[in-house]
Amino acid sequence: MAATLVEENTAAGNNSRQWSLLGDDILNMIIDKFDNIYDYARFGAVCKPWLSFSHRFYYQKKHLFRANHQLPLLVVPMEGHQQIRGLYNIATDTLCNQIQLTLPYKRCCGSSYGWLFFVDNKSAEIEFLLINPFASESERSLIKLPPILCYHTVSQMDEYGVKKAVLSKDPNEFPNDFEVIAIYGGMKVLAHYKSGDQFWSYPKPTRKLQCFADVIFYKGMAYAVDSHSWIVRIYRKRFKKISPSGNSSPCYLRFKTINQKLSNTSFVNYSGNAYLVETCKGELLHVRRDYWTLEESMAIDAENEAEERRVQAEYEARTQEEHNEIMERIERESENQNVEDYEIMASKVSEVLFDEPHLSVNFTVFKLDYPLSKGQKSTETLNGEILFIGDNHSVSVPSSRCPNLPPNSIYYTDDYIDVYRHNIQFGSCDTGLFNIDNKSFGKHFVPSFSAEGMPPPIFVVPRYRIK
């Protein structure tokens, strides 16, 4: 019916003002078919009455979009514009020309509830800027968080000093009840911030290696995973004694193990990246992303074992006194062994990836049984859902919401930062999709220009609300 009226108006030569005369019942029929903000933006651009109507409709129906997991859009670089980013709709393979985002010309290290995380590296500390380019005039569009104290090694104080940051809730809806967890530093440790706090909270200092890959807020709790399948629940606990200077958080972070850590001395057990994703049915998935084939991982393990045997042979060839001195030194430094193992592994990785870009070679998905039981089970299906992972807060969308996309697929962006800036020189090339059913790879966003040196794309789920 709406299409008929459009054709009649066009044939009669009426100008765009005639669109404002359409009744609410017809507009309801049109807008009820929308899936994401891309459709709302195009609809609202027709005329002011349609813009007002789209806001009213979304305000009434927005709970449906949250329940059904809205399709993310891709924030992409624009050729010839450093401060401007575009929004790309992977379902329609089109760039939304009606929306252009003014953002810092640097890597975005997090995306949650329409907010984008950037590191403000004007100081010698890591400070976050939260930018919401979709906020209305009555809402906050910029939040600056307190600086993170770099107790751990941070070789870069810019946007690559942070692995990822996520929000628990939308700060515009819950200004006094949102939390942030960031993964930062060379060892990828955690920091936690709660709205209203003056300082971040950190784990107690430890010599154990805690190198996390992803975090998620799930059913009111926070969880983190590392690249060796160690999954923990995160909670804050107050110090028994508070610093008299009052210049630090009164709380620290503690972890409860949900899934046991695999051996971190075996490269076969290592995944280049790992993610936690909540499905549309409320289940929790663990996704492992590999940049090396099994054969390559086994070769690295074999090389490490050969090096260990060579060193051991040298120890045994020396005098007993020298051997004892060596063993004493090894015993003194044993608590640092995890860090040394990580450095050896990172060195091997650098050698493999030095001359060419890294590309994903496989994804493995596990379903977590917690809280019914600890552990996880591998799964060969996503039950028709589609995952969106990368630097963004991981998202799952039912395939019924995006029939143009293959079900049981994982859409991913380039987010591997272990080798500093490595893939950026190639144009952030590890962006694509992986089909769980047939283990095949494909592409989604391929720029028509050279993206070398530009900030990598990132998925975002805009929060579209009444003004």
What is the structure's pLDDT at 38? 61
User: Do 77 and 208 lie in a common domain?
Assistant: yes
Final residue of a domain: which of 45, 67, 89? 67
Q: Tokens 């003004």 correspond to what residue?
A: 467
User: Do 176 and 266 lie in a common domain?
Assistant: yes
Residue type, 98: Q
User: Do 232 and 249 lie in a common domain?
Assistant: yes
User: Do 31 and 137 lie in a common domain?
Assistant: no
Do the beta carbons of residue 41 and residue 364 sit within 8 Å?
A: no
Do the beta carbons of residue 431 and residue 414 sit within 8 Å?
A: yes
Query: pTM of the prediction?
Result: 0.79
- Residue span of the structural domain in which 261 resides: 73-291+358-460
User: Do 263 and 379 lie in a common domain?
Assistant: yes
Does pLDDT of 136 surpass 80? no
Structural domain includes residue 104: yes
User: Do 102 and 57 lie in a common domain?
Assistant: no
Structural domain includes residue 466: no
- Tokens describing residue 303: 């090389």
Structural domain includes residue 465: no
C-alpha dihedral sign at 65, 66, 67, 69: positive
Structural domain includes residue 131: yes
Does pLDDT of 14 surpass 50? no
Do the beta carbons of residue 174 and residue 217 sit within 8 Å?
A: no
Picking from 189, 274, 168, the residue whose alpha carbon sits closest to that of residue 231 is: 274
**CATH classification at residue 118:** 2.120.10
The packing angle between helices 294-317 and 320-332, to 10°, is 130
User: Do 163 and 280 lie in a common domain?
Assistant: yes
104: number of Cβ within 10 Å: 18
User: Do 284 and 325 lie in a common domain?
Assistant: no
User: Do 186 and 223 lie in a common domain?
Assistant: yes
Final residue of a domain: which of 312, 338, 353? 353
User: Do 378 and 455 lie in a common domain?
Assistant: yes
Q: How many structural domains comprise the chain?
A: 3
156 or 153: which leads in pLDDT: 156
Q: Tokens 């040196």 correspond to what residue?
A: 453
What is the structure's pLDDT at 329? 61
What pLDDT, in 10s, does the model give residues 286-329?
999 998 888 878 887 788 777 777 766 766 666 555 656 655 66
Picking from 230, 346, 351, the residue whose alpha carbon sits closest to that of residue 286 is: 230
Task: Report the SS3 class of residue 49.
Answer: helix
Distance separating alpha carbons of residues 10 and 64, to the nearest angstrom? 34
Structural domain includes residue 375: yes
